[in-house]
């Protein structure tokens, strides 16, 4: 049986044909033919005159003709004062060696240097407001793309500017989970590939702290940059995952002490995923970033709970390691996770000799105790 086009198909083909004919006719009449014969329809001149009228709107009424005033007014002295200051700061010779100043902004960003800060406070407020809203919007779109269902608890304890937010680490999407409920400054190592592209895009909108691989080993440099950030109370709270690697969300492993040496207020956050809907753990030695994200998007859902714990500070006589262990214990207790003392770096490295020595000492004490018990009996 042969195929017969429907009336709708005929109508669609006719509309496409008409559209192409109109587009090609306009291209031929207004661009190709005038370019061949060197003629102009005046459209560009009309466009230029329209722009000039727009630019003149800002300038109209701004200049005052002093000669039109019949009597002297006290406000007239401000004109001469301004002219005198301008002559000192920007004389007629020096200004010839820089781009010509415009009397009104022509709506191009590259010539906006004289009109950028019409109101400094308004500019800062608008930038911060728009940056926050755009960040939240983008992260919430990502949450929806992952079919993430997130429950936030105790939002009154959310991190504040000038503080450090620390959380257990399971996956790169931990950042999306937290950032969809608030803005943070990220800290991490510079990566390549897709992750590097994302990092470079993020730092253009917010002062994130990225380190080169060689800089990560310099503890003093890292501490200095973190300290400078938290001292500025206008900057976003820093988001840090002190474990330094992804753990499978059944436990919390050793927290690196670097972020607890700064002396700033720490806001602990516990993240617990529900593995029944999808395994959020990123095994970086097995899956690349793109492959991992595809697995997350093809899961049934990403279901997790986030608890904002009360802020914590170092107590008197408490060192950074003890403070880190206290924060880690609070996160593990709230998230129902196992509190481990082992270093998460063991995922890629060998066991340190110090850990071996501790186990050897413990085993030797057990042997000595057993020998003494036998001798007494």
Task: Measure CA 195 to chain center.
Answer: 13
Q: Which residues are CB-contacts of 258 (< 8 A; sequence separation ≥ 6)?
A: 219, 222, 223, 226, 242, 320
pLDDT of residue 270: 94
pLDDT of residue 248: 86
Query: Kind of pairing, strands 302-308 and 185-189?
Result: unpaired
**Torsion sign, CA atoms 94, 96, 98, 101:** positive
pLDDT of residue 168: 92
Q: Which residues are CB-contacts of 328 (< 8 A; sequence separation ≥ 6)?
A: 242, 252, 254, 255, 339
pLDDT of residue 66: 47
Altogether, the residues listed in the chain come to a count of: 377
Residue of 300, 311, 252 lying closest to 275 (CA atoms): 300
pTM of the full predicted structure? 0.60
Q: How far apart are the first and last CA of the chain?
A: 101
Two structure tokens written together for 304: 């997790």
What is the rounded distance in angstroms from the CA atom of residue 92 to the CA atom of residue 99? 13
- The secondary structure element, H or E, covering residue 244 is none
3 state DSSP class of 239: strand
Two structure tokens written together for 225: 């940059």
What is the rounded distance in angstroms from the CA atom of residue 181 to the CA atom of residue 173? 13
What is the rounded distance in angstroms from the CA atom of residue 356 to the CA atom of residue 333? 28
pLDDT of residue 277: 83
What is the rounded distance in angstroms from the CA atom of residue 285 to the CA atom of residue 281? 12
What is the rounded distance in angstroms from the CA atom of residue 253 to the CA atom of residue 343? 6
Question: Could you tell me if 331 and 252 are in contact, meaning their C-beta atoms sit under 8 angstroms apart?
Answer: yes
pLDDT in tens, the chain (377 residues): 455 566 767 778 888 888 889 888 887 777 676 666 666 677 766 766 676 677 676 555 445 454 554 566 666 676 667 766 666 665 555 544 455 555 555 555 555 555 444 555 555 566 677 777 778 888 888 888 888 888 899 989 999 888 899 999 988 889 889 988 888 888 777 777 777 787 777 777 777 887 775 665 666 777 777 888 888 877 888 898 988 888 888 888 888 888 888 878 899 999 999 888 888 888 877 888 888 888 888 888 888 999 999 999 888 888 888 899 999 999 999 999 888 887 776 766 666 677 677 777 877 777 776 555 555 55
């Amino acid at each position: 049986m042969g195929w017969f086009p429907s009336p709708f198909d005929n109508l669609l083909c006719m509309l496409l044909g008409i559209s192409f004919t109109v587009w090609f006719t306009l291209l031929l009449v207004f661009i190709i033919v005038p370019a061949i014969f060197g003629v102009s329809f005046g459209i560009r001149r009309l466009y230029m005159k329209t722009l000039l009228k727009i630019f003149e709107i800002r300038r109209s009424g701004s200049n005052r003709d002093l000669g039109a005033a019949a009597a002297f007014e006290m406000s007239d002295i401000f004109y001469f004062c301004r002219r005198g200051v301008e002559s000192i700061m920007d004389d007629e010779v020096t200004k010839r060696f820089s781009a010509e100043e415009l009397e009104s902004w022509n709506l191009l960003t590259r010539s906006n240097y004289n009109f950028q800060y019409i109101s400094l406070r308004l500019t800062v407020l608008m930038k911060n407001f728009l940056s926050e809203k755009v960040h939240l919007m983008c992260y919430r779109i990502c949450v929806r793309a992952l079919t993430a269902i997130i429950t936030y608890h105790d939002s009154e304890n959310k991190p504040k500017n000038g503080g450090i937010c620390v959380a257990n680490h399971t996956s790169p999407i931990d950042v999306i989970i937290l950032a969809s409920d608030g803005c943070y400054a990220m800290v991490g190592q510079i990566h390549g590939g897709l992750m590097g592209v994302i990092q470079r895009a993020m730092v253009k909108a917010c002062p994130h702290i990225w380190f080169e691989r060689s800089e990560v080993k310099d503890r003093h440099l890292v501490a200095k940059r973190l300290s400078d950030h938290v001292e500025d109370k206008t900057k976003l709270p820093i988001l840090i995952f002190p474990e330094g690697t992804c753990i499978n969300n059944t436990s919390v492993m050793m927290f690196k002490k670097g972020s607890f040496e700064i002396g700033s207020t720490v806001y602990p956050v516990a993240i617990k995923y529900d593995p029944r809907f999808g395994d959020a753990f990123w095994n970086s030695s097995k899956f690349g970033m793109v492959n991992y994200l595809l697995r997350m998007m093809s899961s049934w859902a990403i279901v997790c709970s986030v608890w904002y714990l009360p802020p914590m500070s170092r107590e008197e006589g408490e060192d950074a390691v003890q403070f880190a262990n206290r924060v880690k214990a609070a996160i593990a207790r709230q998230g129902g996770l196992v509190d481990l003392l082992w270093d998460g770096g063991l995922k890629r490295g060998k066991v340190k000799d110090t850990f071996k020595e501790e186990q050897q000492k413990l085993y030797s004490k057990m042997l000595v105790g057993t020998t003494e018990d036998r001798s007494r009996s």
